Structure 1
Amino acid sequence: MVRYLVVGGGGKVAQYFTKQAVDAGHEVHSVIRNDGHSDELKKLGAKIHILSLEDASVPDLVSLFSEVKPDVVIFAAGAAGKPPGPDVIDYEGAVKVFDALESANTKRLILIGAVDVRTRDKGWPDWYNEEDKETSDKVWKAIPTYLDAKLKAEIELHKRKQIQFTVVRPGGLTLEPAGKVQLGKTHLKQTSRELVAQVILAISTKKGTEGLTIDVMDGEGSIDDELSKVVDDETDAWTG
């Protein structure tokens, strides 16, 4: 049994994950900003903690981590285009969680990022085709503040040597049922939210995923096979 603490537990990926983890016999503690998702999460089997990431201090989070004693923390919080915005939640909120993890001596973190988050002045990833480049330009033009906040959070996370992290980067999120998957260096496509949750659950119990940044797309492979491929060949994980 693994004890999970999900920060941002009200989101769709987080709710899929909660159901999957509880069904598999694990314990899930869900952190939500208010009681808006409380009833549905309780029905999924989660233990609820009300804490606004915007308003919480690092000591507040340390207290929560010390109380729950999670084996794995999942950062699933996001501003979702609403106030207070991605800088406050996706970046500053993530940094608070990093600080609290270190202070509470909680090691394992899975961060839900976003595909194509990168320092663009380095040029294109070498596996991108022309369609990927066109998609990238469109997305960065449409939601630059969100992607920049995600990028700053990842840059900060790489400085934290005490945290055993894995970054999961889904593509354009859909509500389609989970199917097959492609992991690692992928083209810019869509991703089922249910599938992302399945991948997170698999990563959380797979040795060797620590320190990797893994793109997740709908594809043709099984999660186990694709994850083993990425772990066995770390160069297939995107680190830029």
Structure 2
Amino acid sequence: MKIAIAGGHGQIALLLARLITDAGHDAVAIIRNPAHVTDVEQQGATAMVVDLEQVDDDELALRLRGVDAVVFAAGAGPNSGAERKETVDRDAAITLADAAERIGVRRYVMVSAMGADSYDRERAVVPARSEDDVFQVYLRAKSEADANIRMRNLRWTIIRPGALLDTPPQGTVHVDRTVPRGSIPRADVAALVLHALLDDTAVGVQFEVTSGNTPIPAALHALS
């Protein structure tokens, strides 16, 4: 299986690339900065240097030929402004879906955010006035991207993790359509993506996830 990961230099994406290659599959890391090529190659991935904020879906579709599935794990980052929450967290996710559909790649896994639909509509506007307003724009961008994906004829999975940790993976999670606030290691989010793809589970399902007591494969099968 050949899997393209948007936001390929992100922490979840790097962990996922290693999991994919260790499982005997091919990872393609979509990155914007050529300086990150070595980092993704060290995880066993092939680098695809393309700016998702600038590329159109026709060009991206050409670059994705031969791919079996796509993962959107990109994000504008904590220090970016409200405008880039829209152009990366929303628009780039939609461009990836457009390109995937154009070449018949139907499997799409989205790494979203817990509580994405709970944004304050009055504050989630550009230009933002404060840091918290920027966060509201981020939630709105994630919510709108997720809604766009749900409406498509794709075999989609939308994962909405809680607060992300850099701790070792536990391998066990708590998943449901909504779950109480909590946290989860990035490594467990990467494992969720891998199992959803390789086991072909949680198709057409949007769910929230935090650390819990259920092994990841069993948790995903229960959602299917």
Question: Which interval holds the TM-score relative to the shorter structure?
Answer: 0.7 to 0.9
User: How far is 1:36 from its partner?
Assistant: 2.8
2:54 and 2:162 map into 1 onto residues whose CA distance is 29
Query: Hey, what does 2:90 align to over in structure 1?
Result: 91
Contact map agreement 2:174 2:210 (CA 8 A) in 1: yes
Corresponding letter in the other structure for 1:117: A
Query: Hey, what does 2:210 align to over in structure 1?
Result: 217
- C-alpha distance 218-142 of structure 1, shift in aligned 2 (>3 A): farther
Match of 2:162 among 145, 150, 171: 171
- C-alpha distance 12-120 of structure 1, shift in aligned 2 (>3 A): closer
User: How far is 1:141 from its partner?
Assistant: 6.2
Corresponding letter in the other structure for 2:64: F
Name the count of aligned residue pairs. 210
1:210 and 1:143 map into 2 onto residues whose CA distance is 28
Q: Report matched runs for 1:92-171 at 5 Å.
A: 92-118=91-117, 143-161=135-153, 163-171=154-162
User: How far is 1:93 from its partner?
Assistant: 0.9
- C-alpha distance 226-208 of structure 1, shift in aligned 2 (>3 A): closer
Query: Hey, what does 1:60 align to over in structure 2?
Result: 59
Query: Hey, what does 2:35 align to over in structure 1?
Result: 36
User: How far is 1:92 from its partner?
Assistant: 1.0
Corresponding letter in the other structure for 2:113: A
Q: Secondary structure at the match of 1:143?
A: helix
Contact map agreement 1:140 1:147 (CA 8 A) in 2: no
Question: 1:78 and 2:78 equivalent?
Answer: no
Deviations 1:123-177 (A, max 9, x none): xxxxxxxxxxxxxxxx97671011000011111112212x111001111011011
Corresponding letter in the other structure for 2:6: V
Query: Hey, what does 1:5 align to over in structure 2?
Result: 4
Large movers: runs of 4+ above 6 Å: 139-142
- C-alpha distance 140-201 of structure 1, shift in aligned 2 (>3 A): farther
Which is worse superposed, 220-229 or 47-56? 220-229
Q: Secondary structure at the match of 1:118?
A: helix
1:208 and 1:194 map into 2 onto residues whose CA distance is 19
Which is worse superposed, 145-154 or 199-208? 199-208
Q: What residue ranges of structure 1 are gaps of 5+ in the alignment?
A: 122-138, 232-240
Corresponding letter in the other structure for 1:54: E
Contact map agreement 1:86 1:149 (CA 8 A) in 2: yes
User: How far is 1:206 from its partner?
Assistant: 2.4
Deviations 1:178-221 (A, max 9, x none): 11211123211011000100111001122342110121211112
1:199 and 1:140 map into 2 onto residues whose CA distance is 29
Deviations 1:106-131 (A, max 9, x none): 1110011001112569xxxxxxxxxx
1:70 and 1:102 map into 2 onto residues whose CA distance is 12
Q: Secondary structure at the match of 2:157?
A: strand
Q: TM-score w.r.t. structure 1 length?
A: 0.82
Query: Hey, what does 1:191 align to over in structure 2?
Result: 184
- C-alpha distance 221-53 of structure 1, shift in aligned 2 (>3 A): same
Corresponding letter in the other structure for 2:147: I
Q: Secondary structure at the match of 2:29?
A: strand
Match of 1:202 among 167, 173, 195: 195
Which is worse superposed, 195-204 or 90-99? 90-99
Q: Secondary structure at the match of 2:151?
A: coil
- C-alpha distance 194-208 of structure 1, shift in aligned 2 (>3 A): closer
Contact map agreement 1:108 1:165 (CA 8 A) in 2: yes
